[in-house]
Amino acid sequence: MFNHASFIWGAADILRGTYKQHEYGDIILPFTVLFRLDAVLAPTKEAVLEAIGPTYVDTEPPIAMIRSRTDHGYSFFNRSQHDLKSLQGDPDNLEENLRDYVNAFSGNVRDIFQRYKFEDTIVDLASHDLLLQILQHFSKANLHPDAVSNEKMGHIFEELIRKFAEASNETAGEHFTPREVIDLMVTLLLNGEEDLSTPGVIREVYDPTAGTGGMLSVADDKIKKLNSQAQVNLLGQEINPASYAICKADMVVKGQPIDNIVLGNTLTNPAFENRTFHYCLSNPPFGVDWKQNRKEVESEHTLAGFSGRFGPGLPRVSDGSLLFLMHLISKMREPNASQPETAAGRAAIVLNGSPLFTGGAGSGESNIRKWILDNDYLEAIIGLPTDMFYNTGISTYIWVLSKDKAPERRGKVQLIDATDMFVKMRKSVGSKRKELSPQNIEDIAALYDEFADSKRSKIFRTEDFFYRTITVERPLKLNFAYTADRIERVMAAKQIAKLPADDAASLRSALDLQSQRSSGEAFTNRDSFSKHLTDVLNEAGLALKPAVLKVVVNELSERDGDGEVVLNRVRKPEPDSTLRDTENVPWDQDIHEYLEREVKPFVPDVWIDESKTREGAEIPFTRHFYEYVPPRPLEEIDRDLDEVLGRIRARLEEVKR
């Protein structure tokens, strides 16, 4: 079977020696796009040129006119008399003719090659006498749609990007997601969508981190398989220019409007404002910080109410995954009771484990999770096997969300453990060593569809993930004494160091004298000790300000479990910060009853500082599927050790002989 990706990458042999490895992709990828577009347009080229005629010499003809006069079904064209094969017949003018050919594309496609700075590439290849060789090499790869389907072309692009990433020491996985993972995501999104069978039904699919367009392509294919008469609009945004160019080229070939793919940063400059979609898909970068976008993100967070995408909260700057999750939710179509045919939005997003539990009660991450659960957006979370992605071996999860859950799912969340549902790959690709087979995908989808408790599937109420964090205080107990080490602490305090030299000397003298008198005897009542200290200082003719006197008292104290409880001005116990603790109380339990039952039997003098109580939410996925495995009996372990030691002794005996 002809391997198009390997053959195309073989152009690196032509470039080797003249270009560095990290430069190969910037040449090979745009040429791949160019030859694909040329092959796609080949059947209608003559008809398009005839339709354009002499009328549009200095202006660009409207695409609607070209479509009406030909069977040209694309939203782009090329008005050059040449194609990539005929160009090679005039090697003396090859550079000029190829540049003219690229510039003869409609403006919406020229943008793709401008992102690659392709004209500079043509000039540079020609200056090294490599342009004709590159064209001849690519001409041997038949990229016509009859030979290479759109789906297969997507695989070729992804394989080339992976090779490019390896050559330039970059991360290929940032650009695309394994197709079988996308297949599972789309399968879950389309599950139970009865309206999809309606002839002429319209569905819009959106990916804010589009990469090379894999998610959009798979969604398009699966919807069309379910309903060949469905109209599927694919829209996306991508921040990487190279990936954007490939995605845009792929979507254009599919007949999608050219403006449906936008270059830019989704977090700071989102495309398609005021638009929402039926299906949203995303695989945002794992653990990428948003420090550079901090100003714009924080500004949107502070908008009145939740009118901004990030109103519910902000995650820590080191990981922006939850920002993409909130953005995705904002693009999901709202339910409309008067127009049920519009269908409420559904979404699937791939995230690592951090968004499940990072951040305690009251943190930005916890507030975001609680907002999602409060609004009942979360349908299910599927735990995937490790080693599923090209750039990481960590655990990953698919979150499935909906703006209008089925009645039986309302107020509930399903967790599916698919961590051991995979097949091993014969040859690993980067960090990817496992993949989902069609049967795995079918089995996971069945678990989702059944929506029942089992070994692999758990059903929870949304409130089961809520909790309150209470701050448990214990009283401060101290003793006070004039000991040498405590006196040294007093004299080392900053406030004491600021005293006039005579006052500092008088203070030390008075404390040393009292140390000798008391022989280290300790006081257990702060009020009594404070009065005694004041008398000592008065005897020495020294008057300290209240704030300085407080420092002296504190430095002459030490914690003492047998000491008296220190009371504040309103005669209530002061908390001991070193003994402060927190407890997470389940949402459906009263915090005071919890304290009486779980804490006071062991520490009777505790109380709750209710001003510090925080509400939180976390989804401890792994805990719910943990199965206790008892340790092996000691007798069995001892027997195995004896066997091992016996073999070692026998080998030592053989060595001695």
Residue that terminates a domain, selected from 465, 486, 516: 465
Are 48 and 72 in contact, with CB atoms under 8 Å apart?
yes
Measured between alpha carbons, how far is 510 from 491 in angstroms, rounded to an integer? 12
The fraction of the chain above a pLDDT of 90, given in percent, is 58
**Same domain for 436 and 484:** no
Q: List alpha helices for 411-521, DSSP H.
A: 438-450, 484-492, 494-497, 501-518
Report the pLDDT value the prediction gives residue 191, as an integer from 0 to 100: 87
Averaged confidence pLDDT in the chain: 89
Longest Cα separation, the chain: 115
Can you read off the two tokens belonging to residue 568? 């504040």
128 within domain boundaries: yes
**Same domain for 139 and 199:** no
pLDDT of 168 higher than 70: no
Mean pLDDT of 62-66: 81
Residue that terminates a domain, selected from 565, 600, 622: 565
**Same domain for 197 and 155:** no
Report the pLDDT value the prediction gives residue 322, as an integer from 0 to 100: 96
pLDDT band (50, 70, 90) for residue 156: confident
Read off the CATH number of the domain in which 251 is found.
3.40.50.150
**Same domain for 248 and 135:** no
Spatial CA neighbour of 218 closest among 229, 205, 200, 231: 205
Report the pLDDT value the prediction gives residue 108, as an integer from 0 to 100: 82
pLDDT of 179 higher than 70: yes
Measured between alpha carbons, how far is 176 from 212 in angstroms, rounded to an integer? 6
Q: What's the chain's Rg over C-alpha atoms?
A: 35
616 within domain boundaries: no
Spatial CA neighbour of 275 closest among 191, 340, 204, 226: 204
pLDDT of 482 higher than 50: yes
**Same domain for 187 and 110:** no
Are 459 and 451 in contact, with CB atoms under 8 Å apart?
yes
315 within domain boundaries: yes
Rounded to 10 degrees, the C-alpha dihedral 311/464/396/406 comes to -80
Measured between alpha carbons, how far is 370 from 368 in angstroms, rounded to an integer? 5
pLDDT band (50, 70, 90) for residue 52: confident
593 within domain boundaries: no
Mean pLDDT of 28-36: 92
Range among 147-156, 314-323, 644-653 rated most confident: 314-323
Q: Which residues contact 301 (CB under 8 A, 6 or more apart)?
A: 308, 310, 311, 313, 314
pLDDT of 328 higher than 50: yes
Region of poorest pLDDT, from 160-174, 380-394, 474-488, 608-622: 160-174
Q: From the CB of residue 236, how many other CB atoms can be counted at a distance below 10 Å?
A: 27
Q: Between 503 and 629, whose confidence is greater?
A: 503
pLDDT of 532 higher than 60: yes
233 within domain boundaries: yes
Measured between alpha carbons, how far is 583 from 599 in angstroms, rounded to an integer? 9
pLDDT of 149 higher than 90: no
Mean pLDDT of 67-83: 81
**Stretch (H or E) spanning 509:** helix 501-518
333 within domain boundaries: yes
Q: Please provide residue 467's backbone torsions phi and psi, each rounded to the nearest 5 degrees.
A: -160, 170
Measured between alpha carbons, how far is 36 from 143 in angstroms, rounded to an integer? 5
Mean pLDDT of 30-39: 92
Mean pLDDT of 387-396: 86
**Same domain for 361 and 290:** yes
Measured between alpha carbons, how far is 234 from 220 in angstroms, rounded to an integer? 8
Region of poorest pLDDT, from 158-162, 410-414, 495-499, 612-616: 158-162
Distance in Å from the first CA to the final CA of the chain: 60
Report the pLDDT value the prediction gives residue 556, as an integer from 0 to 100: 93
Report the pLDDT value the prediction gives residue 172, as an integer from 0 to 100: 45
**Same domain for 426 and 399:** yes
- Write out pLDDT tens, residues 229-244: 889 999 999 998 888 8
Q: From the CB of residue 450, how many other CB atoms can be counted at a distance below 10 Å?
A: 11
Measured between alpha carbons, how far is 572 from 568 in angstroms, rounded to an integer? 5
pLDDT band (50, 70, 90) for residue 306: low
200 within domain boundaries: yes
pLDDT band (50, 70, 90) for residue 338: low
Q: Where are the beta strands (DSSP E) in 24-167?
A: none
Please name the residue that has the structure tokens 């569905």.
203
* Distance, CA of 376 to chain centre: 21
Can you read off the two tokens belonging to residue 51? 């339709």
pLDDT of 412 higher than 90: yes
132 to 25, 34, 38, 266, 311: CA distances (angstroms): 18, 15, 17, 39, 56
β partners of residue 233? 204
The boundaries of the domain holding residue 123 are 4-167
453 within domain boundaries: yes
**Same domain for 137 and 238:** no
Please state whether beta strands 423-429 and 466-473 pair in parallel, antiparallel, or not at all (unpaired). Answer: unpaired
Measured between alpha carbons, how far is 56 from 62 in angstroms, rounded to an integer? 10
Measured between alpha carbons, how far is 31 from 29 in angstroms, rounded to an integer? 5
Sheet containing 564-565: give its strands across: 557-559, 477-480, 564-565
Mean pLDDT of 41-50: 88
Report the pLDDT value the prediction gives residue 54, as an integer from 0 to 100: 78
Residue that terminates a domain, selected from 465, 492, 520: 465
**Same domain for 498 and 456:** no
Report the pLDDT value the prediction gives residue 339, as an integer from 0 to 100: 62
Report the pLDDT value the prediction gives residue 2, as an integer from 0 to 100: 60
CB environment 451-487: b (16+ within 10 A), e (fewer): eeeeebbbbbebebbbbbbbbbbbbbbbbbbbbeebb
3-state secondary structure of 182: helix
Please tell me what DSSP assigns to residue 583. Answer: E
As for how many domains the chain has, the answer is 3
**Same domain for 221 and 77:** no
pLDDT of 101 higher than 80: yes
pLDDT band (50, 70, 90) for residue 442: very high
pLDDT band (50, 70, 90) for residue 1: very low
**Same domain for 221 and 89:** no
pLDDT of 348 higher than 70: yes
Report the pLDDT value the prediction gives residue 585, as an integer from 0 to 100: 95
Q: Mind giving me the DSSP string for 603-641? A: -TT-EE-GGG-EEEE---HHHHT----PPPPHHHHHHHH
**Same domain for 213 and 101:** no
